[in-house]
Amino acid sequence: MSGKHFDVLIVGSGAAGCVVADYLSEHTDKSIAVLEAGPLDRNPMIHIPAGYSKLLAKDKAVWPYETVVVNGQRRRFRMGKVVGGGTSVNAMCYVRGQKQDFDAWQEAVGEEGDWSWETMRATYIEQERNDTFHNEYHGIDGPLSVELPGRINELNQRCMKAFQEFGLSYNPDYNGQSQAGVSPVQSNTDNGKRASAAVAYLHPRVDSGRVTLLTSRTVTKILIDNRKAVGVCVLHGTQEERIYADLVILSAGAVQSPKILMHSGIGPRAQLESFGIPVIEDLAGVGENLHDHPIIPIAAFVKGKMGYQAAAQGLGMLVSGVRYLTAKDGPAAGNGIETVSYWDPDDLQSEEPTVQCYHEPIISQDGLNPSGSRSGVTFATVVLQPRSRGTVKLADADPTSMPLIDPNFIGDPYDLKVGIAAVKSVRKVMEQRSLADVIEEEFVPGAKVQTDEELGAFVKQVATTMWHPVGTCKMGRKDDPTAVVDASLKVRGIEALHVIDASIMPRIISGNTNAPTQALARHASKMLVARYFS
Ligand SMILES: Cc1cc2nc3c(=O)[nH]c(=O)nc-3n(C[C@H](O)[C@H](O)[C@H](O)COP(=O)(O)OP(=O)(O)OC[C@H]3O[C@@H](n4cnc5c(N)ncnc54)[C@H](O)[C@@H]3O)c2cc1C
């Protein structure tokens, strides 16, 4: 074999890849390389917290994925393609999910592993450096900064009060004992800068020389010899290279990890054979079980200049920029998402919310950037436990082709029911005093949409990605024919190959997926050390 060799190769420098690199570099003396398809995270818009909407709007640092036609339209499905992966372009909201999410993971592996809430809660605490909370739910010694907003703008203050008038409790900490209620958002920022996984975990290890980071390297397939991973094929520009390793970790995310497996001959036999890819391991679950949180926006114009409509455009943006550069302060120093609500529309007192709703103090055509001059609020509601399942499939045998992504948004009647109920709840919230005093008119879906049938059609038309794809290489018990990895996240039937990223979640977490992905990566890294290096 000629080519570079490392003890451990990690494919992808996103939420999971950075955590694995950090943990293995601290707890072993092995040589470690991280291969990343995207560039270094040098773009200043990555590090200014409010910059992500500009990056996404201009398709910078992202894979330009689209879905297949879902409910009549293709939808943008961008994912981070840069050092830090999703954590360099995401909205930084820090959410852990509910205990029952991890009960479901534990049920998926049964006696074969420990993915219990107690274990995962301890893992979250180890990773966290919280600026406010320090108790049985929060840590202050970890590498990952978690902050409350420095200030909550008036429109969001009104949203918080209106949700309480509607019947929710004020909950200072949705990552504490209960998720339910209306709360300030906790974010991965650090004194006015984005706290990406690359900043928190990877760069210190690369800077110290402990980890080799190779950027602009697209892994096209895993090299497998006698049912054991021995390295990867890489495209570097137009050049092909092979890099060898004793252990290969796929952390390429929920779209690319199953894609790479399939190009390597690991996946559903019929699909691989249809493209002439020799089958090494027939694993039916690769690329199946894709699910994501569907966003359903409800938007209304408000009186005056409340919120960030003006601050994020034109002269307002310039002023925000100057304030940020001089004092690391103002709207650009935060993600612009300051408050959130969690509830169950069927039972407002439930401790197991089924809906999450960020209160975004802007009106936007693309869901990110303010559009137009009228101020307003957009309630970004999501179904926390969608039951729809979709797929990631190969388009052809060419590893550089875009995959076929079918998230099947609102494909299950439960998702439609919760989506409609969420819109009705938000309309009631907007009728409460603290918002009614300032709302001028509902803009989306608009007054014409009233019956359940009309609301259902609206939900299907608008529901799109919250950028939380998971589940396409799910973990499960030996007797689960759809499991791709076992409880230690080793690929079934292949030695020295693990998948560690959001794709292994058997069921999505009730909340944003960055923090759970980092926690699962740390937990899996401990198992790697115990299995291979102790
Ligand atoms: C726009 C956006 C907003 C989001 N907002 C939030 C939020 O506010 N809060 C939250 O908790 N979560 C959020 N998320 C989700 C969160 O960022 C992801 O769940 C998380 O990053 C997933 O981690 P991962 O390690 O599985 O994959 P990623 O972080 O996507 O990392 C995968 C990495 O692998 C690289 N890669 C892929 N294929 C290859 C290949 N063939 N060769 C080499 N490298 C490859 C990618 O370029 C990428 O860097 C958001 C995501 C996006 C995109």
- 199-224 confidence digits (pLDDT tens): 999 999 999 999 999 999 999 999 99
* Adjacent-strand bridge partners of 228: 225, 495
Best CA proximity match to 430, nearest among 89, 76, 156, 163 = 163
What's the CA-to-centroid distance between 226 and ligand 1, angstroms?
31
Nearest atom of ligand 1 to the alpha carbon of 335: 8
Average pLDDT of 414-440?
98
pLDDT above 90 for 330 = no
Nearest atom of ligand 1 to the alpha carbon of 220: 41
% of the chain at pLDDT higher than 90: 91
pLDDT at 335: 87
Output the six-digit token pair for 107: 């049920």
Nearest atom of ligand 1 to the alpha carbon of 95: 11
Average pLDDT of 220-246?
97
CA distance 391 to 389: 7
Nearest atom of ligand 1 to the alpha carbon of 38: 47
What's the CA-to-centroid distance between 247 and ligand 1, angstroms?
22
Closest C-alpha residue for ligand 1 atom 35:
12
Which is higher by pLDDT, 377 or 373? 377
Strand ranges inside 206-289, DSSP E: 211-214, 218-225, 228-236, 239-250, 266-267, 281-282
Among 126-135, 363-372, 491-500, the range scoring the smallest mean pLDDT is: 363-372
Output the six-digit token pair for 349: 């007192």
**Domain 150-184+294-383+410-462: which topology?**
Cholesterol Oxidase; domain 2 (3.30.410)
Nearest atom of ligand 1 to the alpha carbon of 259: 41
Closest C-alpha residue for ligand 1 atom 50:
90
pLDDT at 3: 76
Average pLDDT of 221-239?
97
Position 331 confidence tier, pLDDT thresholds 50, 70, 90: confident
* Contact by Cβ (8 Å): 65, 405: yes
What's the CA-to-centroid distance between 151 and ligand 1, angstroms?
28
What's the CA-to-centroid distance between 517 and ligand 1, angstroms?
9
Separation of first and last alpha carbons in the chain: 27
- Alpha-carbon distance values, 261 to 33, 171, 274, 449 (Å): 19, 42, 16, 44
Q: What is the mean pLDDT of the chain?
A: 96
| Ligand 1 interacting residues, C-beta cut-off 6 A | 11-17, 35-38, 56, 79-81, 85-87, 89-93, 95, 217-219, 251-254, 256, 260, 467-468, 501-502, 512-515, 517
Average pLDDT of 115-133?
98
CA distance 513 to 85: 13
Average pLDDT of 442-455?
97
Closest C-alpha residue for ligand 1 atom 12:
514
% of the chain at pLDDT higher than 70: 99
Output the six-digit token pair for 271: 């699909």
Closest C-alpha residue for ligand 1 atom 21:
86
pLDDT above 70 for 2 = no
Mutate to test the pocket of ligand 1, among 203, 514, 518 (most ligand atoms within 8 A of CB): 514
CA distance 29 to 522: 17
pLDDT at 300: 97
- Whether 1-99+195-291+470-534 shares its CATH topology with 150-184+294-383+410-462 is answered no
Taking only the tens place, the pLDDT of each residue in 473-528 is 999 999 999 999 999 999 999 999 999 999 999 999 999 999 999 999 999 999 99
Taking only the tens place, the pLDDT of each residue in 395-426 is 999 999 999 999 999 999 999 999 999 999 99
pLDDT at 1: 55
Burial class (CB in 10 A: 0-12, 13-18, 19+), 414: middle
What's the CA-to-centroid distance between 385 and ligand 1, angstroms?
20
What's the CA-to-centroid distance between 295 and ligand 1, angstroms?
18
Taking only the tens place, the pLDDT of each residue in 154-203 is 999 999 999 999 999 999 999 999 999 999 999 999 999 999 999 999 99
Taking only the tens place, the pLDDT of each residue in 85-108 is 999 999 999 999 999 999 999 999
Burial class (CB in 10 A: 0-12, 13-18, 19+), 402: middle
* Contact by Cβ (8 Å): 412, 456: no
Mutate to test the pocket of ligand 1, among 67, 77, 467 (most ligand atoms within 8 A of CB): 467
* Contact by Cβ (8 Å): 61, 80: yes
**Domain 1-99+195-291+470-534: which topology?**
FAD/NAD(P)-binding domain (3.50.50)
Best CA proximity match to 470, nearest among 35, 108, 9 = 108
pLDDT at 314: 82
What's the CA-to-centroid distance between 12 and ligand 1, angstroms?
9
Average pLDDT of 377-381?
97
Domain boundaries, the chain: 1-99+195-291+470-534, 150-184+294-383+410-462
* Known catalytic membership, residue 293: no
